Each structure stands twice: as C-alpha cells, then as structure tokens.
Chains A and B, each alone.
Chain A
Amino acid sequence: MSAKEQKKAKRFGMVIDLDKCTGCGACMVACMAENNVPFKKDESNKLDSITWMRVFKLTNGKEYPDADVCYLPRPCQHCEGHDGHSPCVSVCPATATDYSRETGIVSQIYTRCFGCRYCMAACPYHARYFNWWDPVWPKGMEKMLSPDVSVRMRGIVEKCSFCFHRYQRAMDKAHLEGRRELAENEYQTACTQACPAGAITFGDLNNPGHAVYKLKQSPNAFRLLERLGTNTKVYYVSEREWVRRAGDNYLAHEKTGQVAAAH
C-alpha cells in the first residue's frame, strides 16, 4: 500500500454474514452494555425500545415446511449518501448529527440535539431512537455505567456510533506510541467483538488490507435499500437469494441485485 493510500480517508464499515448470524442477540446485549443503553420494565413494545443494534427477523413467506427465517442485525448503516449527505445528517436542523469525512461515521451530539425527530423520519432503517423516558437504572445498577459513553437525557435522539469512543481510545493509544494508523484489530465495535458466530466483520472499507474490503466484493453481498441511494457502509452477505431480495424493494420483474443506484 502506498503512503498516499494510507493517508486516504477511512470509511469504517461492516460486512455481516447473514448465513452465520444465528439471531442469538449477543450483539444487542454487548452494544447495550458498551453504550449505556437504558432499559425499561417493559421492553416488549419494539416501537419504543432503544436498541442501537436491532436484530430483525426475515421470513421467506413460504408454507411449512418450506418456510425459512433469517436474522438481520441492523446497526446504524452510517449512510454516506451522495457526498456525505446521508438521509439524517442533511435534515438535522441543529447540526446535531454529522458525517465525518475522516472516518465515515455518522455521529450524534446528544447535548446538541433538541429532539425534533426529523432525522428519525428521514431514516428508512429505523436506526434512530428517541428517549421518550428519563433513563432510569434500578437502584444500585447505575454502577454498571461506563464512563466512556455519556448517558443520554430524556427528549433526545440516539443511535449506534460504531463505538466511536473505541476509535478514539485506539487513536489515543496509537498517538502515544507515535503512530498515526491503527491496525485492523485495534478498532472493533462491541457487537463485532461479541458475535459468537463470527458473523460480523468490521474494518475500513477503503483499506485493501482489511477483511471487509474483500468480503464486500462477494457476489452475494448487498446493502439494505441500496436503490434509495443511501450508500450505506454496512454490507450483508447471504447465499440465499430470497434473503438478498429482502434487502431491497423490487418490482416483480426485476432481478435480485441488479437495480442498485450507482455510487
């Protein structure tokens, strides 16, 4: 790799192997623990349950015993859109969410957000969550809160940050050691690390040395709602055609995987 390429901006992203994902929920739990995600007494209404990482269940709609299910972990897709105009970043009126050209990460500034929820309306992935309630930990359990991630107050929007604090931590360490570049394994998200099936791979999509660079080129790779032009940084891989087809909206005559908007 040339020095010039080394300096190229990073585009952190994921490749998730849906044929390996077992729907066990370890990624969700790891994410909640890592990011001080609050929890309520009843979380069975999934429309108001904060899960930065949410595992969706897909079904092929066929009759028993031809029925099939597939799980699809959905972190924030960190859309690049066209030139950094991701659906949410471009609509936030208070610049409380931003697209980093350095890392490709869509950030959320909790103390800036005033809770208009326009970004939630803009996100087709439902990756953004609103704090409808004050976050409350049962007595004594606030001891489990990590100082790396601030606790969010009521009335604001939050979402997956690709564990950005881990990137900062790794960069701090690298700087102390006089390095400007991170090795692939120095910055991994909590969900990636936790997945017992090894279904999630995380890295710099621009870096040919990283595993994601190669994995995303698989003919079975696809992105969610690619034809909307959201230009996401989370790729999915599945050998099953029906799963790949479920990743986007298709008209009846269209062939799976051949309609995506160009980026």
Chain B
Amino acid sequence: MKIDRRSFLSLGVGAGAGIALSPLPWKLTDDLSIWTQMWPWTPVPKDGEIRYVNSVSTLCRCGCGIKVRKVDDRAVKIEGQEGYPGSDGSACALCMSGIQRLYSPTAIRMPLKNTGTKDAPLWQSVTWDAAIREISEKLGKLRKEGKPQALACISGSDKGTVPALFRRFLQAYGSPNFMSMPSYEDAYEMTLKLMHGTDSAVGFDLENADYVISFGSGILEGWGSSVRMFKAKSAWKDKKVKTVQVDTRLSNSAAKADLWLAVKPGSESLLALGMAAVIISEKLYDKKFADQYTFAFDSWKDAEGKEHRGFKEFILENYSLSYVARATGIEESQIVKIAKEFAGASAPIALCGRGQGNTPGSVHEFMAVHALNALAGNINQKGGVWAMPKDDYIQWDEAATDGIAEKGLETPRIDGAGTEKYPLSKSLPHRLAAIINAAEKSPVEVLLVSGANPLYSLPDSRAVKKAFGRIPFIVSFASHMDETSEMADMILPCPSHLERYEDVPTPAGMIRKVTGLARPVVRPQYNRKNAGDSLILIAKALGGSIAGSFPWAAYEECLEKTFGDKWKTLKETGYITEDFSPPYWDAAFATPSKKFAFMSEVCAGAEKKGGTGAAKPEGEENTFPLLLIPFDSMRLACGPVAPTPFMMKTVSDHMLKGKYTVVEIHPETAQKYGLKEGKNAVLSTPKGEAEVKVHLSRRTAPGIVAMPRGLGHSGPDEYISGKGSNFNELIAAVEDPVSGLDAAWGIRAKLVKA
C-alpha cells in the first residue's frame, strides 16, 4: 500500500515534469492565442480585385458625386468624386455611409403583400406578375367606376425622370393628384414667381459673394447642397468674406459665422424688413436697379389716377428701427451696422429657408429676404441670387388621355393646390391627412408612394398615420422597410441606390445645370425592379391610352431616349453640366410690368402694419408656456432615407441618449420647471407628447425647447429604430396664407418632469 502510493506519486510527478518540459504546453498555449485571433465568429474580410466606380448618391437631397471602392463585387468604401459639380471630392455623411444601406438586412428582397391589417401587417412574398396584376386590377376597377381622381401619388421630388413617370402615369390615368414632398425650394419657387414673374428655381452664386447673411438657413446643417455649402463656407473664411447668421438658437452655422444675431423666435423676416428700412432711409440701395428695373418701389399712380403706396413708403412707415429692434431683440445700432455692411458690399447675398429647409416656410419671409438682395441690386449678378431656368431635359410627348382620364383631370386636387384657395401652389401634401381624416370616406382610394417617407416626414405624423390607415390601398415603391412601407398594402421593391440607374437633376441653389447619373455599382442582389420599370409594367397591364403613354420597354430605355445623343456622354462621364449666364435685368423679369416686383397683388390682403410675415405657432400660451423649435444636424438625415448605423454612432449624447431624444433648454428654463441635466421629462404640444431627456445649454434662449430632427424612426432596423422621438409627431403644419405651404417653424409646448 505504502509503496503503491509512493510509486503512484513518483509516476505522477514524473509525468507532470515530462509534459511540462515537452513542447506540448507551449504548442497548446500558442494555438490558443492564435485561436483568439481568428475566432470563428469574427469576420475576416475577403481580399480581391480592387476597382473604383463613379456614381451619384441619391440618398441626400442634393446628390453627392461618389467614388465607390470595390473588392471584387463588394462595395467597401464610398468617397467623394473629384470634379463632380458641387460636391467636388467630398460627400455628406449619409452618402458616405451608403454602403450600410446597400447591405442592410432591412432591404426588401421581393414584392410583398400585406395579408394582415395596417396596424399589424403580415407580409407575404408574391411574384412580380401577381403583384403587378393585383395593382393593375385595382387601378382598372377604380377607373371603371369613373373615379380615376381617387388615385394619388406622393413622390419624394418633382424633378427627374422617375417623378416625371409617376406624374405622367397619373395624367394618363386621369388623376390630378400628384404630390411631391415639400421643401424650402417650393417657397423660393413661389417667391420668384411673385417677384420675378418667372417659373424658375433659385440659384446662388455663393462662391463669388462677398457678404453673406443667412436668415435661419442651416448653411452648415444641410441646407442647399450640403457639401457645396461647406466648401463655400470654408472659401469665405479664406477670403475673409463676412458671414452673418440670424438664428434663435446657436446653430453650428451661427457658431461658425462671423456674427450671430440671436433673434427672437419667428422674427427673422422682421429683421430683414428692418434692414431694408435702414437701407432705404440711408439711401444705400442700388439706385439703378430700383429706379429702372423695379415696379412700385416708389409710390405710383395708376391709369385712373389712384395713388398706390410703393414698397419704399410701406417699409419706412411700418418698420421703424425701434419697432424692429424691440420685436427682434437685436439692438438698433447692430441692425444699422449690418444693413450698412450688407448694402455696402459689392456682392452681398441674403439666404432664406430654415435649417435644412425641410419645411417650406412663409412666402412673405422669403420675399422680405429676397427684397434685400434686390435692394443690393444683386439679382442675376455675379455673386448674387439668380433665377435659374428649370431642368428641361425631359421632353416627352404629352401623355395620351382618354375620356375617363380627361374627366378625372378636371376634378379639383384633393390637397387644394392650384384651387381657388391656393392658386399658386403645385402640391400641398401636408394638407392631405386632415382632408382624409375629416372626410367620411377617404377621397384617396389608391395611393402610390415613391422616394418618400411621408409617414415620417410630414408634420403631425400621427394624423398622417391615421389618414394612411383610412386609404384602402397603398402601394409603396421602396428599397427598404420604412414607416410608410409598413403601412402599405403592397410593396414593389426598388434596387438600392448603388444597384440602379437614375438621373439626378440639378441640385438646389446651383447656378449651372447639372445632371448626374446614378449607376449600378454592384450587381443587383435581389429580385427588385426600378420604380420606373414597375410603373411601365402597370401601365402596360392597364392597356389603352395608359399603355400608349408608356412606349418604352423598360426604364433604362426611357432614360436613354430621354437623353438622346447626350446619353453616351452621361453614361461615360457620369454627369453632364451646362453653364448658364443669367439675363440682365432688362430681360430678366416676366411680371406684368416686366420689372422686379417688391410686392405682389396676391399678398395685398396679408400686408398688415408691421406684419412679421411669419406663421404663428399653434397652441395656447397658458397651457403651453414654452416654444418648441427643431434643429437639424448633418449627423442625422431627415429626408426619405433614415440615417445609417455609422451616422447614429456620430450622433452626440446631447441629442440622443438610449431611447430618448435629448432636448436643449436654457438653465433658467430648467430651474423654472424643476428639471435637471440628463433627467427625463415629458414634452407635450397640442399634437402629441414624448418622453425626452433634457440637456441644459446656453445655446438656446430661456423659454425655448430645441429638439433635434431626424430621430424616432420605427421599423425593423434595430440600429435606427426606437431611438428618440420624431419631431414631426409633435409639430402641426401652419398654412401660409399666400401659398398654403407649411410655414410652421415651431409650436407651443410644455415640459414636465417625468
């Protein structure tokens, strides 16, 4: 027994020593450490042939020229494309992270039909044939019932071939209800219509301007063509061009400007008019322009001898320095100084459209700001504001209409645009929800949605959701699941932006024509069709004059035919551009007087003494003592495309913390309502409420709640959804009395400790 134990022990010790001295333990430790370097669950990127493909990213509103780095057929990195007009070598954060959208698991892979309800959708995949058949049967029936006007379409934009195809489809079908998502460009278009008399888009010769004043425009928040604005801003700094930002909140644009004028909320236009008053009273305006090329600058008598007050008198009478200073909160001397500097500069520019410009705004405000450009004589001049002819490369024959279509087209538009109430507007989709919800039966029976996410982007999105719930049949043309697609009855999936051809029209604010071409960078991953192709298939299935209006076999053929002999160049170089030189003042205006009009007949009723031109925010001051205003950030996307995971990662914890939006309030406001840094509070407005966290900041004035836009998505994407609240759920549209466009810039609110 004793010996056994001893030998056993010796054996054990011997074996232990033997193993320890052998290479085995070393080999094993080495293997283990190597194993930790290639855990099977950590992906190893495959190597392959590297190539670069140029394209244009359609994710942001302006379209960034991009260069995609590829490894075999994988897109791995997006960079800016050098030489692309506007974005030249850079791209915005959204476009740069576009690959995350390309490979997102929320991409829709095949046509989907909702077999459940709108509240609890149940998606069933169907074949393309079945999907097209079902849609065309629905549409055919509607026409047979003589209600072609019950078809409506919401498109993300009204420019380019895809929106044009939708508009054409509605025309051929017989519905006037084509709507495009609103933006500040609509307000500018209307301003130019009223003041220049032309149907044009606004252009800014920013690169040559030598003094810039922005009335709330987020030069660094994504207004206009974001990348071009960034480049222009840096160039201004190098050239010592003075920039002035008029903003209630210390936005990034304000912080980077040479001067920030912290105006009282909603008084931007008053400041513009106050400046105008100084420029006029000090006689600093461009006399040649005012005397020869404007109408009714001075008081005038009409043919009947009736005295009409001119712009000059109107401004001097109504916008005294003391009044404007009081109403805007800007000191008199400051207003005088800025007005003099502006008028004294050789190429001053005044910009309008708040934040990123997602909400159009008040036409009077735009007119007031544009009047400053006119007073400085910087219209259609180098370094000034230009009226740009719209893109005209789409020259299709008029769509054929049959009897049913003609009858349908005669009916008034559901959203009221172009009707007696708002004769100048082309599209007012924000009015749709209220009209549908007020009606006994939804006047829209079939809704097509393309390139837009109205359920997220339109104000009062809870009402929009309710309205969409009442629309019997919604077809969404989308590449990814979003709020609107989740409410659809049928989804016709489009290839993602890196898998398809599409023309990219001239971006906002450009002073030359640019047409870019988005092209397939990688092979299409799934069985999806371009919206244009889907539409052509539906048209063909409907037959008759509708089919006749779509003579193309496929969307690509349509594109090719549209561009004609330019197609080859476009396909090779990726973009075509055309210089434009604006006509001189004698030939620039198409108003009845053929001169620049400071004031318009249309506005007569709205011109009250000392009017601000800005909309009054909804809500009672007693119940809602605070003012909620939105702010935009380049790190978030507010358009039809949700931000990417990379972008969410860049979002500051002063904007989003966990699942809560962080709102900014002044420490005084916090104290008044017993709120503390980082603590939760309930933010409520007449339209809804949301639980938020508060951040104490001196960027906002007391009494203001500033909330970031672009958060609060819902849907299947766990990287984006359930984070924060959607500002649009809290805001109500305020109709501009002239245009009917949404002029809301804020809403009354209440903040209570949660």
Contacts and interface: CB of A to CB of B under 8 A. Distances in A.
In the complex, A touching B (Cβ < 8 A): yes
Interface of A: 19-20, 22-26, 28-30, 32-34, 36, 39, 41-46, 49, 51, 55, 57, 59, 61-65, 67-71, 110-111, 134-147, 150-151, 153-155, 190, 193-199
Contacts of A68: 250, 255
Nearest to B97: A29
A68 B487 CA distance: 43
A153 B36 contact: yes
Nearest to B656: A44
Nearest to A35: B77
Given A22-B256, A33-B646, A65-B250, A134 B42 contact: yes
B231 A24 contact: no
Interface string B682-704: 00000000000000011111100
Nearest to B644: A29
Given A26-B93, A44-B723, A67 B699 contact: yes
Contact of B635 (A24, A141, A190): A24
B701 A65 contact: yes
Nearest to A18: B256
17 contacts: A22-B230, A22-B256, A26-B93, A28-B646, A44-B651, A65-B701, A67-B697, A69-B250, A134-B42, A137-B43, A140-B103, A143-B103, A145-B76, A151-B44, A153-B42, A194-B91, A196-B90
B76 A64 contact: no
B635 A134 contact: no
Interface in B682-737: 697-702, 718-719, 723
Interface stretch (B45-53, B308-316, B512-520): B45-53
Closest 6 CB pairs of A and B: A65-B262, A145-B45, A24-B634, A25-B650, A196-B90, A196-B230
A146 to B, nearest CB: 4
B719 to A, nearest CB: 6
A194 B103 contact: no
B105 A28 contact: no
B653 A46 contact: yes
Contacts of B226: 24, 196
B79 interface: yes
Contacts of B37: 110-111, 153
Contacts of A25: 93, 634-635, 647, 650
B231 A196 contact: yes
B252 A69 contact: yes
A146 B77 contact: yes
B582 to A, nearest CB: 27
A226 to B, nearest CB: 24
B99 interface: yes
Given A44-B656, A69-B252, A196-B92, 17 more contacts: A20-B234, A24-B230, A25-B635, A26-B91, A30-B96, A34-B77, A42-B658, A42-B723, A46-B653, A51-B650, A61-B698, A134-B41, A143-B75, A145-B43, A147-B76, A151-B42, A155-B36
Contacts of A62: 698
Contacts of A137: 43
B421 interface: no
Contacts of B698: 59, 61-64, 67
A29 B260 contact: no
Contacts of A198: 231, 234
Contacts of B74: 143-144
B99 A144 contact: yes
A19 B702 CA distance: 27
Contacts, number: 201
B722 to A, nearest CB: 9
B652 interface: yes
Interface in B63-109: 69, 71, 74-80, 87, 89-93, 96-97, 99-100, 102-105
B240 to A, nearest CB: 11
Please classify how large the interface on chain B is, using the bins under 10, 10 to 19, 20 to 34, 35 or more. Answer: 35 or more
B78 A28 contact: no
Contact of B100 (A41, A67, A139, A144): A144
B47 A197 contact: no
B233 interface: yes
Contact of A140 (B78, B92, B105): B105
B666 interface: yes
Contact of A55 (B77, B89, B231, B650): B650
A35 to B, nearest CB: 10
A136 B28 CA distance: 28
B654 to A, nearest CB: 7
A29 B650 contact: yes
B531 to A, nearest CB: 23
B648 interface: yes
A33 B231 contact: no
Nearest to B645: A39
Secondary structure type dominating chain A contacts:
loop
Contacts of B80: 193-194, 196
Given A26-B96, A29-B97, A196-B231, A146 B45 contact: yes
B238 to A, nearest CB: 9
A151 B45 contact: yes
A243 B701 CA distance: 23
Given A59-B698, A138-B719, A195 B657 contact: no
Given A26-B96, A29-B96, A144-B103, A36 B45 contact: yes
A33 B97 contact: yes
Interface string B206-228: 00000000000000100000110
B250 A64 contact: yes
B718 A41 contact: yes
A223 to B, nearest CB: 22
B237 interface: yes
A146 B47 CA distance: 8
A147 B102 CA distance: 18
Given A26-B90, A33-B646, A194-B91, A146 B658 contact: no
A70 B723 CA distance: 26
Contacts of A69: 250, 252, 255, 699
B580 interface: no
B701 A24 contact: no
A22 B649 contact: no
A144 B43 CA distance: 11
A22 B237 contact: no
Nearest to A57: B652
Nearest to B662: A44
B584 interface: no
Contacts of B99: 33, 144
Nearest to A66: B698
B653 A33 contact: no
B649 A43 contact: yes
B105 A138 contact: yes
A156 B73 CA distance: 31
A75 to B, nearest CB: 14
A234 B701 CA distance: 35
B16 to A, nearest CB: 27
Given A24-B93, A33-B96, A143-B74, A199 B656 contact: no
B628 to A, nearest CB: 17
Contacts of A55: 650
A32 B230 contact: no
Contacts of B635: 24-25
A104 B541 CA distance: 67
Nearest to A31: B646
Contacts of A193: 79-80, 89
Contacts of B78: 33
Contacts of A190: 79
Contacts of B48: 147
A147 B71 CA distance: 8
Contacts of B71: 146-147
Interface in B563-610: none
Contacts of A29: 93, 96-97, 646-647, 650
Contacts of B702: 64
Nearest to A65: B262
